[in-house]
Amino acid sequence: MKENKNTVKKPSLKVAMIPIVFMIVSLYFGILIFELDPHIPLFLSGVVATIVALWLGHSWNDIETSFLNTIRLSLQAIMILLIIGSIIGAWIAAGIVPTMIYYGLDLLSPQYFLVSACAISCVVALASGNAWTAAGTIGIAIMGIGQGLGVDLAMVAGAVISGCYFGDKVSPLSETTNMAPAIAGSELFEHIKHMMYTTIPALLLSLIIYTFIGLQFTESGSTITEVQALQSQLNDLFNISPWLLLAPGAVIAMMVFKMPAIPGLTIGSIIGVAFAIGFQGMAFGDAVSVMYYGFAKEVGIEVVDNLLNNGGMESMMYTVALILIAMAFGGILEKAGILEAIVVALLSFAKKTGSLIATTVVTCIAANIIACDQYLSIILPGRMYAKAYQNRNLHPKNLSRTLEDAGTMTSPLVPWNTCGAFMYATLGVSALSYAPFAFLCILSPIIAVIYGFLNFKIEYLPEKTEQLNLKLDLPEMKSEQA
């Protein structure tokens, strides 16, 4: 039964806040008080949102269609997640990850490890155009090296994610980098150039902070002994060979040459199985099974066991379930007009350029928390604020930059967001733990807001600017744009 559009009501702000407040309260009590996973609180929040949508006059059929369509947006991400799981299992079994860790322990010292981790992740993500690909390949190895060096894994994950999202944000190969200007109405390369004004300072500040944190670590004799012991264990368990590094090299090369993520990563997983058979002498059946079940080998040494017992599609099911529930919740909210009602209320505070950009930042962050997906945090605010930016004579690239500064960059900081869930599944550290150390992700939206209020590196549409010059003197025009 289809809904009658004449009987559908738009939610007031008070009504719109009902499922939002319920979500916040249920997540707080569920996670912090009762130490539950976020799945059930989000599921119950979806139930409350459905009740509100039905009360507003929406039919169940249309609500169901809406959240199923929203779930379809995440299917590519889920497929990538499953393939990354198979890569982790296959690459550990093949000795690829152990080899990257083995040589990485020789090259990196604790003092400069965090800044190196961020820089290396930047390069890989920039080349591949995908934060998930970078985290699922070089990121896994960096986490292993950090564990071997005795560096806090929450700090390591924060540095990896900062680097991965820098590359993802500015690479012309990235989906979000193409999506943001398409939604806002700007052009790809002018969008990337405009982003550099906020992204480069955020990266430089992050690298400085990682350098200062790293200087606290010392390369003591005990650390060197532990590293050598770990290398010895890896050498005993696997056939360590530089030839194994061809696998990550091949995956990165495929991404550089614009092969789509799913076939490129699948080939990487198959290479891992082949190397497990060829280099480690695994039976065919065992090598294939690690793609689903992951690699498991207990040697009785905690560091080694934590490194090796990982991967497989099965290990990603927790995250897949979380993504499905979160996306359904976001779809219900969009169908009921709840997100739109909140945005309309926020726009009432956006009187000038600075407050409009700040409102866009808040909306993107809220969309990452509420709609639970990076793409929705770009699409929804981009669609809703495009007219407001146009009415204020602001160039669309200001909107596209802000969508990335806040939408793309804060997505991995939310545990139940698709990006936060993926990073937890891949790196093994929860978003609540690594978020304080993902400095690039924290600094980018802050810098965007500062630029807005200072009217710094904010560009206006030239046609209307010329018209304003005819009507207003320059001081008045600047006052209007501030």
Q: Percent of the chain at pLDDT above 90?
A: 34
pLDDT of residue 128: 64
Query: Any long-range contacts for 30-34 (C-beta under 8 Å, 24+ apart)?
Result: 31/415
- In angstroms, the CA 306 to CA 144 distance is 9
Query: Any long-range contacts for 54-57 (C-beta under 8 Å, 24+ apart)?
Result: 56/8, 56/9, 56/10, 56/11, 56/15, 56/336, 56/337, 57/3, 57/4, 57/7, 57/8, 57/9
Q: For the chain, what are the domain ranges?
A: 63-74+326-481, 75-316
Query: Is residue 35 classed exposed, middle or buried when 0-12, 13-18 and 19+ CB atoms within 10 A define those classes?
Result: exposed
Residue 207 has pLDDT above 80, yes or no: yes
Asked if 199 and 444 touch (Cβ cutoff 8 Å), the reply is: yes
Cα radius of gyration (the chain): 24
pLDDT of residue 437: 96
For 83, 144, 276, 288, 313, the CA distances from 294, given in Å and listed in that order, are: 12, 16, 13, 10, 7
Residue 479 has pLDDT above 80, yes or no: no
pLDDT of residue 303: 64
pLDDT of residue 226: 67
Over residues 104-139, the pLDDT tens digits come to: 777 677 788 899 899 988 877 876 667 887 887 788
- In angstroms, the CA 362 to CA 170 distance is 21
Please, which residues bridge with residue 394 across strands? 460
- In angstroms, the CA 27 to CA 36 distance is 9
Half-sphere exposure of 243 (CA within 13 A, CB side): 10
- In angstroms, the CA 259 to CA 251 distance is 9
Q: b/e map of 431-469 (b: 16 or more CB within 10 Å)?
A: bebbbebbbbbbbbbebbbebbeeeeebebeeeeeeebe
Range among 159-173, 296-310, 340-354 with highest mean pLDDT value: 159-173
Asked if 362 and 339 touch (Cβ cutoff 8 Å), the reply is: no
- In the numeric block, which tokens belong to residue 211? 């350098």
- In the numeric block, which tokens belong to residue 254? 């495929």
DSSP code of residue 461: -
Phi–psi pair at 171, nearest 5 degrees: -75, 130
- In angstroms, the CA 27 to CA 432 distance is 13
Nearest to 450 by CA among 163, 197, 159, 210: 197
- In angstroms, the CA 266 to CA 347 distance is 44
Over residues 268-308, the pLDDT tens digits come to: 999 999 999 999 999 999 999 999 998 888 777 666 776 67
pLDDT of residue 376: 73
Phi–psi pair at 394, nearest 5 degrees: -90, 135
Amino acid at 202: A
Name the residue with tokens 């076939």.
263
Query: Is residue 281 classed exposed, middle or buried when 0-12, 13-18 and 19+ CB atoms within 10 A define those classes?
Result: exposed
DSSP code of residue 395: -
Asked if 88 and 312 touch (Cβ cutoff 8 Å), the reply is: yes
Over residues 208-264, the pLDDT tens digits come to: 999 999 888 765 544 567 667 777 888 888 999 999 989 888 887 887 777 877 888
Amino acid at 256: V
- In the numeric block, which tokens belong to residue 458? 């904010």
Mean pLDDT of the 438-452 span? 95
| pLDDT bucket at 469, cuts 50 / 70 / 90 | very low
Look over the chain and give the mean of its residue pLDDT values, rounded to a whole number.
83
Nearest to 336 by CA among 74, 60, 40, 71: 60
**Residue 371: enclosing H or E segment and its boundaries?**
none
Over residues 22-73, the pLDDT tens digits come to: 988 887 788 778 877 878 888 999 999 999 999 999 999 999 999 898 888 7
Asked if 355 and 442 touch (Cβ cutoff 8 Å), the reply is: no
Please, which residues bridge with residue 295 across strands? 310
Nearest to 198 by CA among 451, 13, 437: 451
- In the numeric block, which tokens belong to residue 135? 């985290």
Residue 475 has pLDDT above 50, yes or no: no
3-state SS assignment for residue 460:
strand
Helix axes 418-427, 140-149, angle to 10 degrees: 50
Residue 96 has pLDDT above 60, yes or no: yes
pLDDT of residue 474: 31
